[in-house]
Amino acid sequence: MTGVVPRRVLWPGVVGAVLLTAGGLGAGAIVRRDPLLSGTILNALRYGHGHDLAFLVLFTGLAFMVVSWVRLGRLVLSGGAGGRIVALAAAAWTAPLIIAPPLYSRDVYSYLAQGAVALRGFDPYVHGASVLDLPLRGNVAGLWQETPSPYGPLFLLLGKVTVFITGDNVILGAIFMRLAVLTGLVLLAWAVPGLTRHLGGRTSIAMWLTVANPLVLALGIGGAHNDILMVGLMAAGVVMVLDRRHLTGFALLALATAVKATAFLVVPFLVWVWAARLSGPARHRFLTAAAAGGAAFVVVFAAATVVAGVDLGWIDVLRSQGPLLTWMSLPCAVAELLYYSVGRYVPGFTYLGVLSVFRVAGVIVLAYVLVRQWWLARAGGVEAIKRATIALLAVSLLAPSVLPWYFTWALALGAAFAWKERWIGVFAGISVWMVLVTLPDGTIVARWTYDSMNPWVWWPYFAATVAASAWVARALLRPEPALTPVAGGTGG
């Protein structure tokens, strides 16, 4: 193990992150009334050929970052780089993104608006951004103008604090929210060594698949998605439970759930982990672990709710929200494929009818998978974490709506297991593909029929994303040539 970061590994990714930031000024999910660009020559980046140039710069930056990531992956697989080197490279690639415009999503504007709704005395679980004045309201996507917040009390508290500090300055607010999300990446980097120690993987590989992954950096940090904060808290909580610090682990899972409800899926699996370590009859062990862990969870979650000054209305919001249409959801993909290939030629078949049937079927299958995985996890230990990871992946595939960054849920735990190199290549290719099928301005591209986009443009682009992802998977498994070091550090 060399203990240094090679130049040809580190610097393309740094340059790529800088280009992503620069290209994002015109091609990202920019502020609609941007006080920094308006009235300057940079405003030309938002329109016509200027926008096309920004788009090209952004994709060039992404290509540089992917090349660096693949080169680092080769080094990791060969044993030439440890976890500390991966963390150093990831930090260097992340730094320019901190001040980037929101990339690949407009969600951060919704986060700010929801925080402002709560700060200004409205119930964020009843009212959407439409009750606000510009500019906080004006940058929220139209779909979410009337939609209450589906997020937990801790994340709403972060939004309230951010808006309290930054006021109506959307640009500064987006940077503050990104810094809050960045703490999740730091927590994840801290948790990975502990996860691999228990789950059998290599720290360097798990770090490479998570904290250095373009899916996590470009979409997660670039988009300032609260999913990264959630998975950081979740991973830290799982480590605590595996280290026999059970109450601390359940408390951290409560905080993760108070960011986004998805984290709660892991809690029942961790009950099995704790129960397996107790003595006595199986039922008594389970009830003891469930009661103690549940008490820690409820106390911390209730405290977050009280401090945030909200109630449990977000549960009703989650239940009532209409799903987005994305074919990363397998039921949606099957429904659209069948309808457009066959169903539209069958009398009586409607698009919405077919879609509804498959979405209901997907929920039924998902419920079965979750219950079965939980029951199979009753031996506790590593098996329970494996089943929890499968459950998170199942939600990412079978839920009525799925977006690319949802796959970080399962990745955060799954990367810590031992994998054969060919599967690592598959994960790498899929990660890059998910970035490529997401347009940097936040437009949802994950559709069989992409609305107004010319199909002669969309389908060749889609084919190019598949080809690029296949290249990543294959290139990763080729040996890395001799390299020149640039920075020191020891591996792990």
CB 367 within 8 A of CB 378: no
Does residue 324 surpass a pLDDT of 80? no
Does residue 483 surpass a pLDDT of 80? no
Does residue 447 surpass a pLDDT of 80? no
- The predicted-structure confidence for 169-185, as pLDDT tens digits, reads as follows 999 999 999 999 999 99
Spatial separation of the C-alpha atoms in residues 444 and 345, rounded to whole Å: 27
Residue 448: what pLDDT? 46
- The predicted-structure confidence for 270-315, as pLDDT tens digits, reads as follows 999 999 999 999 999 999 999 999 999 999 999 999 999 998 888 8
Residue 441: what pLDDT? 86
Which residue, among 268, 277, 202, has the nearest Cα to 245 in the 3D structure? Answer: 277
What is the mean pLDDT of the segment spanning 107-112?
95
Q: What is the 3-state secondary structure (H, E, C) of the chain?
A: CCCEEEHHHHHHHHHHHHHHHHHHHHHCCCCCCCCCCCCCHHHHHHCHHHHHHHHHHHHHHHHHHHHHHHHHHHHHHCCCCCHHHHHHHHHHHHHHHHHCCCCCCCHHHHHHHHHHHHHCCCCCCCCCHHHCCCCCCCCCCHHHCCCCCCCCHHHHHHHHHHHHHHCCCHHHHHHHHHHHHHHHHHHHHHHHHHHHHHHECCHHHHHHHCCCCHHHHHHHHCCCCHHHHHHHHHHHHHHHHHCCCHHHHHHHHHHHHCCCHHHHHHHHHHHHHHHCCCCCCHHHHHHHHHHHHHHHHHHHHHHHHHHHCCCCHHHHHHHHCCCCCCCCCHHHHHHHHHHHHCHHHCCCCCHHHHHHHHHHHHHHHHHHHHHHHHHHCCCCHHHHHHHHHHHHHHHHHHCCCCCHHHHHHHHHHHCCECCCHHHHHHHHHHHHHHHHCCCCCCCCCCCCCCCCCCHHHHHHHHHHHHHHHHHHHHHHCCCCCCCCEEEECCCC
Does residue 326 surpass a pLDDT of 80? no
Residue 459: what pLDDT? 76
What is the mean pLDDT of the segment spanning 184-199?
98
What is the mean pLDDT of the segment spanning 98-114?
94
Residues 6+ apart with CB under 8 A from 265: 370, 388, 391, 392, 395
What is the mean pLDDT of the segment spanning 255-259?
97
Spatial separation of the C-alpha atoms in residues 56 and 58, rounded to whole Å: 5
Q: At residue 290, what is the residue type?
A: A
Residue 320: what pLDDT? 64
CB 315 within 8 A of CB 303: no
pTM of the predicted model over 0.75: yes
Residue 489: what pLDDT? 47
Residue 37: what pLDDT? 66
Q: Would you give the distance in Å from CA 92 to the centre of its chain?
A: 20
What is the mean pLDDT of the segment spanning 417-432?
96
Q: Would you give the distance in Å from CA 359 to the centre of its chain?
A: 22
Does residue 427 surpass a pLDDT of 80? yes
Residue 164: what pLDDT? 96
Residue 1: what pLDDT? 47
- The predicted-structure confidence for 455-464, as pLDDT tens digits, reads as follows 667 778 888 9
Mean pLDDT of the chain: 90
Least confident of 62-76, 132-146, 350-364, 417-431: 132-146
- The predicted-structure confidence for 44-55, as pLDDT tens digits, reads as follows 777 777 888 999
- Residue carrying structure tokens 């029951």: 375
What is the mean pLDDT of the segment spanning 459-482?
86
- The residues with which 487 forms a beta bridge, in sequence order, are 5
